[in-house]
Structure 1
Amino acid sequence: MTIKALLSNMTLKEKVGQLNQRLYGWHVYQKKNGEISLTDAFKEEVARWGSIGLIYGVFRADPWSGKNQTTGLTKEEALTVSRMIQNYIKEHTRLGIPVFLSEECPHGHQGLDSTTTPANISSGASWNPELYQQVQELVAREIREKGAHLGLISTLDIARDPRWGRTEECFSEDPYLAAQFTLAALAGLQGGDTRAVDSNHVLAVLKHFAAQGSGMGGHNSGPVNIGERELREIHLPPMRAAVAAGAELCMAAYNDIDGIPCHGNARLLSSILREEFGFKGAVMADGCALDRLVELSGSPAATAAWALESGVDISLWDNVFPYLEEAVLQGLLSEETLDRAVLRVLRLKEKMGLFEDAAPAVEPVSDMQKRTLVTKLAEESVVLIKNKHRQLPLADTAVESIAVIGPNSHLIYNQLGDYTPFKHVGRCVTVLQGLQARLAGTPVQIYHAPGTAVTTHLENGLEEALAAASKAEHLILVLGGSSARDFDTDFDANGAAISGSSEMTSGENIDLADIRLPNVQVELVKKLAQLGKKMTGILIQGRPHSLCEIEPYLDSLLIAGYPGEFGGDAIASIVFGDANPSGKLAMSIPRSSGQLPVYYNYRDIAFKKDYFDLAGEAAYPFGFGLSYTDFEMTNVSVKDPLPTRAQLQAGQKIVIQGEIANIGGRKGAEVIQLYVKSNQRNVITRVKELKGFVKVPLNAGETTCFKLTLGASELREYDANMTETIMSEFTAIVETTNNRCELPLVIDGENSR
């Protein structure tokens, strides 16, 4: 039976069931004394609709779900439960339509026996989307081998204000860099076949559409007061690129845009996404988001009609889409509109092969392969921003002892980020453990004391830290923040933290007014500095913190973000020179909260950039990152002849080429960054905009050629009337951390120069 024939055979109630994702998936089963059974709540939901479209988070295991290693599902049990669910639906519904199981995977699947990878704030700093894609292929395999089908992943949010607690879920403050990682996530999760999704991959649900990263004052779900130009230039590019590459699912954002909530924004979800970008897939609501619209529309039925007509196809936990049947019967919504949404869901189930086998067996990936790839990504994500007198890397033959100090030195959940499942801690590696493993078999002595918690004093903590430091030659301070949820965290109905534990400084709903490091950590650094020893700072954090209070006391400084469960190994490799830091900042680091916003790609209007009491520029800018070696860029030029505007529109590209040399004594990798500065006459354009990059590994003394291209999509801009056009006159800017070359270019209809 074709899906259209199936649709024609469905009742109105069965159709509504396909668009509802009401259940909290961990309520679907119960596990007692080793026995697993399906719950009455699940069975009642099946009976109510005679059809269920999706179930969220069956395998989720974290403090919100209350599922842990005892009450949650191992990967083997997960596959069993997946098949139990599908079999029950097949046997107890008239049509037996299989159900989608959707799971969170912001940095690895949020279920037991899953690999927690570096968070997006780290991965973006790697500037290596190809490596990130390989990691996402592993994530897809882990989700699929448990019997799930959809992977919810944050890729669309652009980090425009580091006060926002969900900054850790963003790749960058820049739309082009975020778009490249969005494409990598999509390809890694879904695979390369746009016609079907095989049993090793899942459908990616890209979050959140759109502009959630520009909430007022950094508030989660806050009002977004931006215009059409800012929306199109900054917030839409990742989704536009993803649609062209075969994206099938996205999640709407909680926020409004200039007063119109995204979940009720027909222009955003239909006119732009579907008609302009050509999106053929389905839009999922964010958790309980539709309930928030009831206050505006006046009733659940009216809200259901509003959301569906605007472009939302699938609900999440809300008590709104259950009223779709009533909306149709009351004449608020046509059944034809409802049918279009149902057909989208059925088509995706067909594309996933659910009608043939909803829970196929999957060949697992070896633990060693997972560890190697995830550790490599963590290594490439570390950014060296200070290295006074080339103090790093340390040599295990030259340093006699180290002291590892700081609140994030030996707490594994602090280096994993929000949306993290319960872990088998013995399989994870803290910074302390990574250093211990790296130095095993060497004469280097290691001393350890946390000194403080993230935000509070520890009893005798400072004294113990000073005692450990006094014995050591070199101090390694592991500082920063934490998004670790615990059972002291209060949760909203959508899983966001209403109030975190006192040690939770990042994560959903954990927004900060002040992005300085907590006072206890600053105090710790200053006290240790009085010992007069060499000090390396390592920042494990979910947002860029202001570092001005501690930077003068540190000889070297590494930014690690949330490096994942093998982050300790990666950081140890960087500190002792087994790996050379090659990360570049994907988010600018401010001097102070009072500077915000401090993103690099602001509009180039004449204004006084410095404050009366503080410099205006970032402390460390976007794209910055040091290495243990030195690079030199030479012979940068544009390949002749330049294509004309018509040739660019037909697919030709401008080619910019040059040479990059490793003139230092160590193997390393440099990121060559290509920006453009438009010289459009009637619009104030941005200072510069990233439009290309390439990461080039080089042995010591090696020179190689590089090539970067600019096509019509990279040169897209909007004129004074918001008509899309191609830049006519612009400057191409090729940069590394220590090199810069500007190339003025003109593109016309007949000739270019």
Structure 2
Amino acid sequence: MRKQTILAAGLALVLAACGTSGQSDGSDKVERIPRVEALLKQMTLEEKVGQMAQVTLDVVTVGNGPFHTEEPMRLDTALLRKALVDYKLGSILNTAGAKARTREEWFTVINQIQEMAMKETRLGIPVLYGVDAIHGVTYTAGSTLFPQQIGQAATWNREIVREGGAITAYETRASCTPWTFSPVLDMGRDARFPRMWESFGEDVYLSSQMAHEIVKGYEGDANQLDDPNRIASCIKHFLGYSVPESGKDRTPALIPEIELLERHVPPFAQAIRSGAQTLMVNSGLINGVPVHCNYDILTKLLKVDLGFTGLVVTDWKDIENIHTRDRVAASQKEAVKLCINAGIDMSMIPYNFDFCDYLIELVNEGEVSMARIDDAVRRILNVKHKLGLFERPVTHYDQYPDFGSEKFAAVARKAATESITLLKNEENVLPLPKNAKVLVTGPNANSMRTLNGGWSYSWQGDRVEEFAADYSTILEALESKVGKDHVMHVPGVEYNHSGKYWEDVVVDIPAVVRAAAKADYVLMCIGENSYCEKPGDLHDLSLSENQTALARALIATGKPVIMILNEGRPRIVRTLVPGCKGVLQTYLPGNYGGLALADILYGDANPSGKLPYTYPMFVNTLVTYDHKPSENQAKMQGMYDYESDFAVQWPFGHGLSYTTFTYSDLRLSSKQLTANDSIVVSVTVKNTGNREGMEVVQLYTSDMYASITPDVRRLRGFQKVSLQPDEAKEVQFTLKASDLSFINAKLQRDTEPGEFEVQVGGFVEKFEFQ
């Protein structure tokens, strides 16, 4: 079969080796900025190495060790001078005392840091300060918090993701910080993974589209980082972080090269094309090699093949982990050598200065070249220059009058509303009548912590209640919507906040059952408590036993039960779904999630969210929509009936509305496609219900036959359209040959001649690529 190569990967991913290569390392592609080049010529080795080092704020505050900053927070001048003057550090990150701070505190602290860096050091190079502004400014009190990324993906709304990024950039700058460690572009393809909610879901195309939007939201249309309303993005975690074999954070992954290139590279490649300035590295191992010391991934793939010219930063303490955890390096010094030579530009140390001492020794011993040091420092200083830090090292909060404004809150509430996904609505139980008596129950009913999740005012989200008292829990939003006389609250089960995050305790299930007898409807708010990263690992994806017992007791009452899922990943609810009249997925909607949910429950808003992942039915059947045909072999030749069918609770892209939509007139502009042409796909969508609604029109293609087994289908386009009752719109998509490409056995991106199917709204048309 003749093959037309659309884009050759040109990769030699020998993932079983650390080390260097004599080939190009990508340094020749990095922009030469006169100011930066002049500085490089003046800098000593110690000054260069200092720029490559980053410590956490607790290291330079008054206190008695990491995360033990005394209150009120204040800098320890001697410790700060040791970091900036003695060790010449170029970057500081994070909050202090493991909690959010006011804008005034941020200005005071960062202004003092910059004053010392620019006035007491020889060259006056400003510090690059970074924080995890993940769904809003995580560590600033009063900031506008949006849905977590998985909820943003569920909106399927490009514009709202970009707008949320722009607001986050504005409020991050209002907090005197120019750099965020966001977005997460890891693929959410394993429901067990504790950081799934930080992703844009399981699909390559959806994730890539949202990657573009959020990078442009942070950095601006033209990536104008010197704009005081914009910040530098940090795409993470390169590469293949989210699919470890165990499903647990920072554990080994086994990923074939084809899978890396097909599933994991594209969102990063799109973000790089969109101008992302910085990148953070996968903390784990791929095929036995820590990514932090993998030259083939960090230099050959990232810097050479993908052409990334920005700053590459480690994740938390990960150079040390090469020695202490992964045992690839026999000493900390060797770990530094391996990682810097592999392509790391900045080390998130984060507690000590040993990295600097080791790296200076390695350069003097000829183990790390000065060219590698200059390349790393050039990348770092370029980012500082582009951010305008030399001219404006700090921004002042009083120059940002829209911080925490009602205008921004409206966008966050809209995002939450559009993210909430109606999964089941038997007999149109929803929306509810406002004069009905409802029982609100479950551990997530009266908690701001569970609405926000991790990276909310603190790393684990465990301090949300200190900062979010002015916002509405689900219970409070419902009481505000219909009045307290129409709302009863009996929790039944609550989270054990003094113990492990995932533990819940039975309060009184019989009391809930008694209350249900007085209610017209039961709103059962269940799911997960907040968690982040390693503390979110679990052994069983099933919903907790206590919450399951609560649900079964309520279903047994015969009352109409609406299951409200408030969770970072899909927990198994297979046995409960048949007994519930309605099911809503809220994901982690942020501070305005309670109000958004109340609007939807009572019909003041029409749900339009769609699942950005496949919701599993069984713990042993964690499959994605873009699986291979052999994943579904329920019956072979009519002889057997295996439990190997594509059994899922709800499919990727699923989501109901209070209105109905019909599709018609699927048309292709041509039934033939060549490498230099395109096909226009048109379909008519009509609102056939009695209220306004938004529909996500999804276009999929299937390659009927290929040299490697094709996926059963792939998302190639989507548009979210709003339609009035009885209104119809024609929606168009353009398909190019490159949209049909895949990574073949030779690690080349090809589009092969043959027959393809286009699928939109249940309709199918065929065409041929020649």
- TM-score under structure 1 length normalisation: 0.90
Q: 1:210 aligns with which of 225, 239, 244?
A: 239
C-alpha distance 720-37 of structure 1, shift in aligned 2 (>3 A): closer
**Whole-Å separation in 2 of the counterparts to 1:204 and 1:473:** 48
Residues 1:471 and 2:518 aligned together: yes
1:439 counterpart letter in structure 2: V
1:23 and 1:420 mapped to 2: Cα distance? 18
- Residues 420 and 586 of structure 2 are in contact (CA less than 8 Å); yes or no, is this contact kept in structure 1? yes
User: Which of 669, 675, 678 pairs up with 2:700?
Assistant: 675
Give the Cα–Cα distance (whole angstroms) in 1 for the partners of residues 406 and 732 of structure 2. 34
1:481-501 Cα deviation digits (max 9, x unpaired): 1125xxxxxxxxxxxxxxxxx
Q: Which amino acid aligns with 1:466?
A: V
Q: State the alpha-carbon separation in 2 of the partners of residues 432 and 26 from structure 1.
A: 41
Distance 1:607 1:435, change over 3 A: closer
Matched position secondary structure for 2:197: helix
- Contact residue 162 and residue 216 of structure 2 kept, 8 A: yes
**Cα distance in structure 2, aligned partners of 1:223 and 1:351:** 36
CA contact 2:146–2:589 (8 Å) conserved in 1: yes
Alignment counterpart, residue 91 of structure 1, candidates 119, 124, 132: 119
CA distance in 1, matches of 2:468, 2:56: 30
Q: Deviations over 1:414-445 (max 9, x none)?
A: 111112114422222210111111114xx961
Q: What's 1:43 paired with?
A: 81
Given that residues 303 and 320 in structure 1 are in contact (C-alpha distance below 8 angstroms), is that contact kept between their aligned partners in structure 2?
Answer: no
Q: How does 1:713-732 map to 2 (within 5 A)?
A: 713-732=738-757
| Distance in 2 separating the partners of 1:462 and 1:614 | 37
Q: How far 1:363 sits from its partner (Å)? A: 2.4
Cα distance change on mapping 1:530 and 1:641 into 2, 3 Å: closer
Task: Report the Cα distance in structure 2 between the residues aligned to 1:174 and 1:588, rounded to whole angstroms.
Answer: 10
CA contact (8 A) 2:232 2:277 kept: yes
Task: Give the Cα separation in 1 of the matches to 2:530 and 2:431.
Answer: 29
Q: Which residue of 2 aligns with 1:323?
A: 358
Distance 1:371 1:195, change over 3 A: closer
Candidates 281, 290, 304, aligned match of 1:252: 281
Which residue pairs with 1:734 in the alignment? 759
1:5-404 → structure 2 map (5 Å cutoff): 5-25=38-58, 27-28=60-61, 36-49=74-87, 51-57=88-94, 60=95, 65-68=96-99, 73-113=101-141, 114-194=143-223, 196-294=225-323, 295-317=327-349, 319-320=354-355, 322-361=357-396, 362-365=399-402, 367-396=405-434, 399-404=435-440
SS at match of 2:614: coil
Equivalent AA in structure 1 for residue 512 of structure 2: A
Cα contact 1:168–1:507 (8 A) shared by 2: no
Alpha-carbon contact 2:187-2:204 (below 8 Å) kept: yes
Deviation at 1:722, TM superposition (A): 1.8
Q: Partners in 1 of 2:97 and 2:421 — Cα distance?
A: 36
Displacement of 1:691 in angstroms is 1.4
**How much has 1:307 moved relative to structure 2?**
1.2
The change in CA–CA distance for 1:725 and 1:322 in structure 2 (over 3 A counts) is farther
Q: Distance in 2 between matches of 1:685 and 1:67?
A: 47
SS of the equivalent of 1:218 reads: coil
Q: Please give the secondary structure, in 1, of the residue aligned with 2:144.
A: coil
Q: Using the alignment, how far apart are the partners of 1:199 and 1:643 within structure 2?
A: 46
Q: What residue in structure 2 maps to residue 626 of structure 1?
A: 656
Q: Tell whether the 8 Å contact from 1:671 to 1:695 is kept in structure 2 after alignment.
A: yes
Cα deviation digits, residues 583-615 of structure 1 (max 9, x gap): 11111111111112x111112347624884575
Deviations 1:518-573 (A, max 9, x none): 01111111112232211111000010111112112210000111110111000001
| Structure 2 spans left out of the alignment, 5+ residues | 1-33, 64-68, 458-462, 496-501, 636-640
Q: Is the counterpart of residue 705 in structure 1 residue 737 in structure 2? A: no
Higher RCO structure, 1 or 2 (CA under 8 Å, sep 6+): 2
Amino acid at match of 2:366: G
Q: 1:389 to 1:146 in 2, by over 3 A?
A: same
User: Percent of aligned positions with the same letter in both sequences?
Assistant: 30
Match of 2:587 among 538, 547, 561: 561
User: Superposition RMSD on alpha carbons, in Å?
Assistant: 2.1
Distance in 2 (CA, whole Å) between partners of 1:380 and 1:316 is: 36
Partner SS state of residue 479, structure 2: helix
CA distance 1:462–1:681, change in 2 (3 Å): closer
**Post-superposition shift, 1:409?**
0.2
CA contact (8 A) 1:166 1:509 kept: no
Q: Deviations over 1:427-473 (max 9, x none)?
A: 22210111111114xx9611001110246665652133223322211
CA distance in 2, matches of 1:37, 1:66: 12
User: What is the distance in 2 between the residues matched to 1:630 and 1:544?
Assistant: 26
1:330 and 1:609 map into 2 onto residues whose CA distance is 62
Q: 1:413 aligns with which of 449, 452, 459?
A: 449
Q: CA deviation at 1:47?
A: 2.8
Q: Is the 8 A contact 1:156 1:210 kept in 2?
A: no
Counterpart mapping for 1:339-738 below 5 A: 339-361=374-396, 362-365=399-402, 367-396=405-434, 399-421=435-457, 422-423=463-464, 424-440=467-483, 445-454=486-495, 458=505, 460-484=507-531, 507-596=533-622, 598-605=623-630, 608-609=633-634, 612=642, 615-640=645-670, 644-645=674-675, 647-648=676-677, 653-735=678-760
Contact 1:163/1:218, CA 8 A, preserved across alignment: yes
Q: Is the 8 A contact 1:385 1:558 kept in 2?
A: yes
TM-score (norm 2): 0.88
Structure 1 range deviating more: 603-612 or 548-557: 603-612
Question: How many pairs were matched up?
Answer: 704
Q: Following the alignment from structure 1 to structure 2, what is the Cα–Cα distance between the partners of residues 682 and 392?
A: 48
Between the aligned partners of 1:232 and 1:568, the Cα distance in structure 2 is: 39
Q: Is the contact made by 1:304 and 1:321 (CA closer than 8 Å) also made in structure 2?
A: no
Q: What letter is aligned with 1:535?
A: V
Instruction: Indicate how the Cα distance of structure 1 residues 459 and 232 shifts in structure 2: closer, same or farther if over 3 A, else same.
Output: closer
The residue type paired with residue 433 of structure 1 is E
Are the counterparts in 2 of residues 159 and 167 from structure 1 also a CA contact under 8 Å?
A: yes
State the shift of 1:383 in Å: 0.9
CA distance in 1, matches of 2:524, 2:257: 45
Identify if the C-alpha distance between structure 1 residues 599 and 348 changes in structure 2 by more than 3 Å, giving closer, same or farther: same
Contact 2:631–2:645 (CA under 8 A) maintained in structure 1: no
